[in-house]
Chains A and B, each alone.
Chain A
Amino acid sequence: DVKVTQSSRYLVKRTGEKVFLECVQDMDHENMFWYRQDPGLGLRLIYFSYDVKMKEKGDIPEGYSVSREKKERFSLILESASTNQTSMYLCASSLRLNRDRNYEQYFGPGTRLTVT
């Protein structure tokens, strides 16, 4: 089974702190993704990475950065946390697009971040 793990289930941080959210997958997937989920807004893509050291902005990258130094690990960084970044953060991974069409995304359990 594919396993995607996230470093924390719950996190409380203060405004202005630098926050690191870590995600690790064990299936040798090329692609990794960070989403945030908010009531009424659904899931929104923050950043994704299709290879080591490669990254692309998603729909809402402002206030976030990412790092992918190893294939299995994808980190989301909040440079200076703000209260409007209080949310559920979900990491996902998938294979690169392929002829077999088995490139579904597998999600981690999520990190509920509260910024006070």
Chain B
Amino acid sequence: GDSVTQMEGPVTLSEEAFLTINCTYTATGYPSLFWYVQYPGEGLQLLLKATKADDKGSNKGFEATYRKETTSFHLEKGSVQVSDSAVYFCALISAGGTSYGKLTFGQGTILTVHP
């Protein structure tokens, strides 16, 4: 079956530090890959996506590149801010012959950024 593995958290950084959150996956078929972010007390927001190999998704200074050869989709940001403190989820949708897109999530990584 499909699975997503994220780096263990929590991750604590100082403001303006470089962020990497690792994500690797296994999937049947050719998945689309996503990063979602959840701020305290809120639902999940789509942060970025990539739908084919070598695509780079980007949004709000965050980037992730779809690496089919290493089955990875690592999230990066060059300079984090306190407002980036949240839980980050890596996820995939594998078509798998169905008409719906079932999301498979990683376990989430808690990021805390200190001033």
Contacts and interface: CB of A to CB of B under 8 A. Distances in A.
A50 B49 contact: no
A31 interface: yes
Interface stretch (A66-74, A76-84, A89-97): A89-97
Contact of B51 (A31, A45, A92, A101): A101
**Which range contains the number of B residues in contact with the other chain?**
20 to 34
Given A42-B107, A97-B95, A105 B43 contact: no
Contacts of B98: 97
A107 B49 CA distance: 15
Interface residues of A, number: 25
A103 B43 contact: no
Contact of B52 (A33, A45, A101, A108): A101
Contacts of A90: 43-44
Main secondary structure of the interface of B (DSSP, over half): loop
A61 interface: no
A107 B45 contact: yes
B102 A45 contact: yes
B43 A94 contact: no
Nearest to A49: B100
Contacts of A92: 44, 103
Contacts of A42: 105-108
Contacts of A105: 46, 93, 101, 103
B79 to A, nearest CB: 26
Most interface-central of B51, B99, B103 (chain A CB within 10 A): B103
A47 B108 CA distance: 21
Interface of B: 32, 34, 36, 42-46, 49, 51-52, 89, 93, 95, 98-103, 105-108
14 contacts: A43-B44, A48-B102, A50-B99, A50-B100, A90-B43, A92-B44, A92-B103, A97-B101, A101-B51, A103-B32, A105-B101, A105-B103, A107-B45, A109-B43
Given A103-B101, A105-B103, A110-B42, 11 more contacts: A42-B105, A43-B89, A45-B103, A50-B100, A56-B100, A90-B43, A96-B99, A97-B98, A101-B52, A104-B46, A108-B43
